[in-house]
Structure 1
Amino acid sequence: MPLPSAVPPEGAEPVIPRLPAGYLWLGSVAVVILTALIFFGIGWSSATPRPVSDTGADAGFARDMQEHHAQAVEMALLIRDKSSNEEIRAIAYDVATSQQHQKGQMYAWLQDWGLSQARPIPPMAWMESESGGHGSASPHAAQSGSGGADGAMEGMATPEQMQALRRSSGAEADRLFTDLMIRHHQGGVAMASAGVRLAETSTVRDFAALVVDAQTAEITALQELRRSL
């Protein structure tokens, strides 16, 4: 079940979810949650001085990263319900809470910009825009979708992989979740790096830079955990 997003009042300290203590990766995960919640609040107070292009990098990032995050939240909730590994459960809690908050922020950006949540161009086409976000995506991007032959976004698990995760149990489920989430985060870092480079608004550029740092830290934590499974 998606967790509600909340916007901390101006000047208030962000509320950080409590996670199980005592794990090697906890320090980096705490940074992920703290920075995500801080920028969730910052986004609401950031004003856009000019209209945002419906086919540019800012809108493309907001739409595509929402979908990317949605699958990460789904995977996290699946494994948290079935795993008995406390480290896996704590990481799943972090992913579900932080990325659900971020989804809500990106949804709100599009509303504030007066844009639809629906895409006018293929997924990730904005990443190949040679105009740096100043208009529509390039013809090549519109044709290829940048995400592969099937138009899927980079790092996304396939329907077959998601079904395998639902059916798995025990250590097999823990390993499959970790493998899928590492790849998922790697795709998220690639998308966020493009957002840093191509977005016009400081809101999106700063948020995308945060995603790069946060998900890179979680990739390292997941890779260390995977070696022990």
Structure 2
Amino acid sequence: MKAYIGWITGATAAVLVAAGAITYAVAEDGGDSGPSTPAAESADAGFARDMAVHHQQAVEMSYIVRDRTKNTEVRRLAYDIAQTQANQRGMLLGWLDLWELPKVSAKPPMSWMGMGDMPERGDGSLMPGMATNAEMRKLGTLDGKQAEIFYLQLMTDHHKGGVHMAEGCVAKCTVGVEKSLAQGMVNAQRSEIGLMADMLKERGAQARS
């Protein structure tokens, strides 16, 4: 497991190095991969807006658990998730700036996936996998093993929702580099879901769903 987490940390560095190149490339992405400037309510814009919000919660969650446990593996995983998703969030918002599109929409979240009429789960949960406000507050009250387990459970749910959204972009987005980023999210988060399942098992727990 330590070797796997080490690989993830290395992968984060690679993502950070590539970020500038990808952000620049999207401005010129056209031709066979689709139009360089998507419409405001396109899948490309919708994914960028919604995943930026989704990622922000993962960053917050990860920094909370880093203050609630001294376990090296959990802290390392949380730091890596926070860094990776903060970087990706910056890329998504940067693309919206390049496209001169708003970062918020009058339409409900997930409308670009045909899920705009999805009922809110309550207490702050906006999209699939997102924790509620109550769950975020609870995480901030736990310590040690309890904090580790709850974080791993919340982040597993969060990743499952993220994979669902990213798969939607792979299927519906038209900008080539955005589709590539989405596929990278699918691959990385599926791997982390497996890792977190092992970490939960080591703690005598399992994912919530």
TM over 0.5: yes
Of the three residues 185, 193, 201, the one matched with 2:167 is: 193
Letter in 2 for 1:42: A
Shift of 1:158: 0.8
Query: Is it true that 1:111 corresponds to 2:90 in the alignment?
Result: no
- Supply the distance in 2 between the matched residues of 1:83 and 1:118 (Cα, whole angstroms): 35
* CA contact 1:28–1:218 (8 Å) conserved in 2: no
Determine helix, strand or coil for the equivalent of 1:152: coil
Identity percentage of aligned residues: 34
- Supply the distance in 2 between the matched residues of 1:224 and 1:210 (Cα, whole angstroms): 22
Give the TM-score, by structure 1 length: 0.79
The residue number in structure 2 matching 1:94 is 80
- Supply the distance in 1 between the matched residues of 2:100 and 2:9 (Cα, whole angstroms): 34
5+ residue gaps, structure 1: 1-21, 129-140
> What CA deviation, in whole Å up to 9, does each residue of 1:9-38 have, x standing for no partner?
xxxxxxxxxxxxx71532552464255335
Query: Is it true that 1:40 corresponds to 2:19 in the alignment?
Result: yes
Determine helix, strand or coil for the equivalent of 1:72: helix
Q: How many residues align?
A: 194
5+ residue gaps, structure 2: 204-209
Give the TM-score, by structure 2 length: 0.86
> What CA deviation, in whole Å up to 9, does each residue of 1:190-224 have, x standing for no partner?
00000000001102111100100111111111111
Determine helix, strand or coil for the equivalent of 1:25: helix
Greater percentage in helix: 2
* CA contact 2:69–2:144 (8 Å) conserved in 1: yes
- Supply the distance in 1 between the matched residues of 2:172 and 2:156 (Cα, whole angstroms): 24
Please identify runs of 4+ aligned residues in structure 1 that moved more than 6 A: none
- Supply the distance in 1 between the matched residues of 2:21 and 2:197 (Cα, whole angstroms): 31
Determine helix, strand or coil for the equivalent of 2:38: coil
The residue number in structure 1 matching 2:60 is 74
